[in-house]
Structure 1
């Protein structure tokens, strides 16, 4: 029985939630992104995994694709902002403001982003860029 891209994506998300690390999940999400090039959620996940794995340039490239495919995804915007901070790129504020605007209208997305940031800090406690973004988004 062959696994669909959606099944593979869902199974990989579950593996991540179970505590599996970026070292084993990055190749899986790279494959998903290759097979489903227009899947913003897959690119968003790949960017997040690269960020967790201290690969900000790859994270930036993946996050750019995710934002291009779905500019209304606040997590994609947040990932791009974090990657920009970590690669010293300009324009971070635009992505923070857009994420804030989207979350104002979609409260469930705000909760999801909050949970993701907290989860990121649980995996990488001294993540300065994430802490800055979290502060800008939720303590402003």
Structure 2
């Protein structure tokens, strides 16, 4: 990422952590993605924000680009699986399996995804598809 894109990305992350809404942050992350179109982390965040804002078609596009750029990122895969579920498309299981496989190799990534899913449910408690994905990935 270019320096200004990286600074804007970090600002956006801090605003998110401080409780800013998805709709407030979507323009910030869209700008980051415009400045750094090959930034998988920015696209992954944008897809997540679209999902939180009930914009599954936009989330699907961002998540597909993020996974294409960084196929080994489990959060990107989770976002893509969620976007597929939200839009009623096929292919969910492949992305869940891929995310689970990567997380089985990294406790740190597994913990990060788990925290993200819990955080997503705290922002959107009745998100049925997120609950399904969480069960698939973390039910013991």
Shorter-chain TM-score range: over 0.9
Q: Which residue pairs with 2:115 in the alignment?
A: 115
TM-score by length of 1: 0.97
Cα-to-partner distance string for 1:79-131 (whole Å, 9 max, x where unaligned):
00000000000010000000000001111000000000000000000000100
Structure 1 residue 23 displacement after superposition: 1.2
Query: Are positions 1:126 and 2:126 aligned together?
Result: yes
Structure 2 CA distance, aligned partners of 1:18 and 1:28?
15
Partner of 2:85: 85
2: CA distance, partners of 1:34 / 1:6? 12
| Matching of residues 44-55 of structure 1 within 5 Å | 44-55=44-55
Q: Cα RMSD between the aligned structures?
A: 0.8
Q: Matched residues in 1 for 2:23 and 2:43: separation?
A: 16
| Residue equivalent to 1:63 | 63
State the distance in 1 between where 2:18 and 2:121 align.
Answer: 16
Q: Which residue of 1 aligns with 2:6?
A: 6
Gaps of 5+ in 2: none
Moved over 3 A (4+): none
